[in-house]
Amino acid sequence: MHIGLSINGSRHELEVEPRRTLADALREDVGLTGTHLGCEHGVCGACTVLVDGTPVRACLMLAVQADGTSVTTVEGLAPEGGALHPLQQAFTEHHGLQCGFCTPGMLLTALDLLHREPRPCRERIREELSGNICRCTGYLGIVDAVEAAAVEMAGETSCRDA
Ligand code: FES
Ligand code: FES
């Protein structure tokens, strides 16, 4: 089937089998391997991307369902050769990653939260990231990083839950 979609701001036309997942299309057809595959059953969150601004499990969504949408992957967070996104910078500064396998999904889930709630408190950050599994960090550094990025992006030190 023929589909057309925007990925990280660039238009892509793809020919895909009806059963091809969005994750496989992104990784294998477009070469964006920053979208990681862990469980491939919608459990771990490693494959999370934004579709029209909403986080989705790319291992559960079919590529044909993304026809006409705008997809953001981790590669879209920072321009090639440019500065890191504030969330990426905060993850590096606050030990928000070790092996990095969960990181793309964590970043996009956190980005969605900060778009909706610019200065969430730590409990909200924990709640929102609870569907993303990390084997390495113990989560503390991830929560620290998202909190630091929120301060940086919102310019407010006081948190405020929605
Ligand atoms: Fe999609 Fe685990 S690979 S949720
Ligand atoms: Fe290794 Fe999260 S940093 S799984």
Structure confidence by residue, pLDDT tens digits, 2-21: 999 999 999 999 999 999 99
H or E element at residue 155:
none
What's the CA-to-centroid distance between 31 and ligand 2, angstroms?
A: 22
pTM for this prediction: 0.97
The torsion angles phi and psi of 112, rounded to 5 degrees, stand at -60, -45
Inter-residue contact 46 to 63 (CB < 8 Å): no
Distance CA 49, CA 106 (A): 10
Per residue in 80-138, pLDDT tens?
888 999 999 999 999 999 999 999 999 999 999 999 999 999 999 999 999 999 999 99
Distance CA 107, CA 149 (A): 11
User: Among 25, 53, 76, where does a domain finish?
Assistant: 76
Q: Into how many domains does the chain fold?
A: 2
Q: Is 141 a residue whose pLDDT tops 90?
A: yes
DSSP label of 21: B
Is any atom of ligand 2 closer than 6 Å to the C-beta of 100? yes
Distance CA 58, CA 35 (A): 8
- Give nearest CA residue, ligand 2 atom 2: 134
**CATH code of 115's domain:** 1.10.150.120
Token digits for 99? 């092996």
What's the CA-to-centroid distance between 155 and ligand 1, angstroms?
A: 33
| Shared domain check, 119 and 58 | no
pLDDT at residue 79, as a whole number? 84
Mean of the per-residue pLDDT values of the chain: 97
| Shared domain check, 57 and 111 | no
Closest CA to 145 of 80, 79, 75, 89: 89
| Shared domain check, 13 and 32 | yes
Residue 160 lies in a domain: no
Percent of the chain with pLDDT over 70: 100
Domain hosting residue 54, numbered range = 2-76
- Give nearest CA residue, ligand 1 atom 4: 42
Is any atom of ligand 2 closer than 6 Å to the C-beta of 135? yes
- Ligand 2 atom nearest to 100, measured from its CA: 3
